[in-house]
Amino acid sequence: MSFILKTDNLSHRYSNSSWAIRNINLEIAHTGVVGLLGSNGAGKSTTMNIICGALNQSEGTVYINGTDLRKHPETAKKDIGFLPQVPPLYPDLTIDEYLIYSAELRFIEKNKIKGALEEVKERCGLSHLSSRLIGNLSGGYRQRVGIAQAIIHKPKLVVLDEPTNGLDPNQIIEARKLIREIALDHAVLFSSHILSEVQLLCKEIIMIEGGRMIFSDSMDAFNNYVQPHSVLMRVENRPSEEVLLKITGVTKVDFLSDKQVRVYFDGGEEITERLLAASMQYHWKLREINFDKTMLDDTFKQLSAQTNQ
């Protein structure tokens, strides 16, 4: 079987410190979204920086579409698109100027740049903003530009590091839709420390904790470990318990303060969309919604314990 991405015993440590990651073995052979999940500091960004050629590993090998990244970096990187956690944007350039620059960096032939530019702007919903300075864009549109530069050369592998971080609920939904569309003809490695994001987008999941891979399987297999499900919402106008319990999938509600609510649900994948729709209908002024991190920590502990048995 040929793999779009394959790593063998990938390991790295900084200077004389302990291992940041150790013996990471990944395999992605098809299009779609694969989630890379882990708490802050687990080793996700180190892994992705190595996979994308931004950092040389201490040990192990990375293959991109069968090419050894370290031995043949230029060939391998032609098949990689990367959006790091902080998008590499230039605020003084327009969208067109920046994407043309990105196309040139990816060695797209000059006579094909215009076509690639128009195609990627259309795909990322940027066509109407071509001459807008990047510094004047909202956070959501900046992320779109960041994704556009990652796919303008049509790579086989697209690596997205926390692409919804810092976005408001509406922008997160738009970003999810775009990522799903990209995954129709690209292999997408999607990193997050927010479990609900990974659940909504991915069919397969890889979990790293303490620099080691502790889980690699389907999302259905992973979901067996995550019970109960809950999200934390921050709102300006607190909803009533009666209204929340009428939302499909909601099983229990805890009011933590006047503006913070924990909502338990039955595992349905559309819970955040339903809560957002209810917020708009009842004017809660939803400011933030996240998977309950304490429960994510419990999941890490369960999986780590099973791995070490």
Collapsing DSSP states into helix, strand and coil, what is residue 213?
A: strand
Kindly tell me if the per-residue pLDDT of 228 is higher than 60: no
Kindly tell me if the per-residue pLDDT of 167 is higher than 90: no
**Residue pair 102/149 in contact by the 8 Å Cβ criterion:** yes
Q: What is the mean pLDDT of residues 262-287?
A: 86
Torsion-angle region of 264 (φ positive above 0: left; ψ -120 to 50: alpha; else: beta) = beta
Rg (CA), the chain: 20
Does 3.40.50.150 match the CATH number of domain 5-223? Answer: no
Collapsing DSSP states into helix, strand and coil, what is residue 285?
A: coil
The rounded distance, in Å, linking the Cα atoms of 275 and 254 is: 15
**Residue pair 272/231 in contact by the 8 Å Cβ criterion:** yes
Q: What is the pLDDT of residues 229-273, one digit of tens each?
A: 788 899 999 999 999 999 998 999 999 999 999 998 886 657 888
The rounded distance, in Å, linking the Cα atoms of 59 and 93 is: 39
Q: CB within 8 A of 261, min separation 6: which ones? A: 232, 233, 235, 238, 239, 244, 253, 254, 255
Q: Where are the domains of the chain?
A: 5-223, 229-307
Q: CATH for 229-307?
A: 3.30.70.100
- pLDDT of the residue at 293: 57
Model-level pTM?
Answer: 0.75
- pLDDT of the residue at 295: 60
Q: Dihedral sign, CA of 223, 229, 232, 233?
A: positive
